[in-house]
């Protein structure tokens, strides 16, 4: 009798825990399915320069989807002007050119990093200094917009 009772009680407890765990897991997954973006931004930071000099934003974009997605526009509530630029070598000097779009490959990533691409940020709308966080809205060809916090870092920062 005692063994049977303990066994039934254990079975009941286990079923209860299982149902609880199941509910706990399904809810966030269902939520994630509708809200998790295909594109995610990682290591977003801004190299700040003093005065009215433009700042440069850097970020790594990862695409978890089956199709390539293009970064097609950048905007910011903290800067009057935000543009995607590429640094290119022209003979012995380097210059910046505007870029219409940057493709994030399917199941891959692309880095906007020093020496390659940068997000050119001009006309700060309020005083910004290292230690602050600014927000950039990254607009993609699939209609998605990522409102991304960027950590503002001093000029000597490399990554």
Per CB under 5 A, residues contacting Cu ion are 85, 96, 120
3-class secondary structure per residue, the chain? CHHHHHHHHHHHHHHHHHHHHHHHHHHHHHHHHHHCCCEEEEEEEEECCCCCCCEEEEEEEEECCCCCEEEEEEEECCEEEEEEEEEEEECCEEEEEECCCEEECCCEEEEECCCCEEEEEEEECCCCCCCCEEEEEEEECCCCEEEEEEEEECCCCCC
CB of 135 to Cu ion, least distance (A): 19
CB of 133 to Cu ion, least distance (A): 21
Could you tell me the smallest distance in angstroms from the CB atom of residue 74 to Cu ion?
Answer: 12
Question: Tokens at residue 121, please?
Answer: 């940020």
Closest CB to Cu ion among residues 85, 153 = 85
Judged by CB, which is closer to Cu ion: 61, or 82? Answer: 82
Closest CB to Cu ion among residues 63, 85 = 85
Name the residue nearer to Cu ion (CB basis): 47 or 85: 85
Q: How far is the CB of 97 from Cu ion (least distance, A)?
A: 9
């Amino acid at each position: 009798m005692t063994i049977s009772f303990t066994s039934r009680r254990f079975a009941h407890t286990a079923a209860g825990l299982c149902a609880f765990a199941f509910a706990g897991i399904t809810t966030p997954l269902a939520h994630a399915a509708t809200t998790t973006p295909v594109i995610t931004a990682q290591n977003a930071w801004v190299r700040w320069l003093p005065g009215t000099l433009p700042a440069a934003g850097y970020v790594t974009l990862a695409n978890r989807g089956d199709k390539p997605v293009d970064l097609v526009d950048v905007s910011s509530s903290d800067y009057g002007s935000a543009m995607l630029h590429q640094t290119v070598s022209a003979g012995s000097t380097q210059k910046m050119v505007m870029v219409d779009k940057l493709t994030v490959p399917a199941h891959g990533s692309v880095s906007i990093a020093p020496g390659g691409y940068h997000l050119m940020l001009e006309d700060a709308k309020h005083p910004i200094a290292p230690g602050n966080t600014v927000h950039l809205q990254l607009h993609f060809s699939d209609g998605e917009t990522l409102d991304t916090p960027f950590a503002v870092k001093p000029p000597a920062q490399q990554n």
